[in-house]
Amino acid sequence: MQAQLAHQLALAPTGTIVIACAGAAVVAAALALYFGALLGIVRSDLTTGMKLVWFAFTLMAPFLGSLLWFLIGRRDAQRRPGLA
């Protein structure tokens, strides 16, 4: 019984480290998505007004705005450059 308890206690820090690394990877991916979307918005061929709308939306709702930019906005910007 004591050996099993000692084994479980020895594994606890490893599990904590794995969870912390997974959390850090998720945060890094979310930040990359966010900053990639902001950079993509600024560099797009959209009009200034549409860039401002996408930029504001991405600032107000970072994850959702970034995701929608890559799913909808970027494709629309490539299809109709310079048009709102």
Write out pLDDT tens, residues 25-64.
999 999 999 999 999 999 988 889 999 999 999 999 999 9
More confident residue, 26 or 13: 26
The DSSP code for 84 is: -
Q: Is residue 37 within 8 Å of 70, Cβ to Cβ?
A: yes
pTM for this predicted structure: 0.71
- At 30 the pLDDT is 95
Query: What pLDDT is attached to residue 16?
Result: 79
Mean pLDDT rounded to a whole number for the chain? 83
The amino acid at 48: T
- pLDDT for 83 beyond 60: no
Residue 82 is predicted with a pLDDT of 53
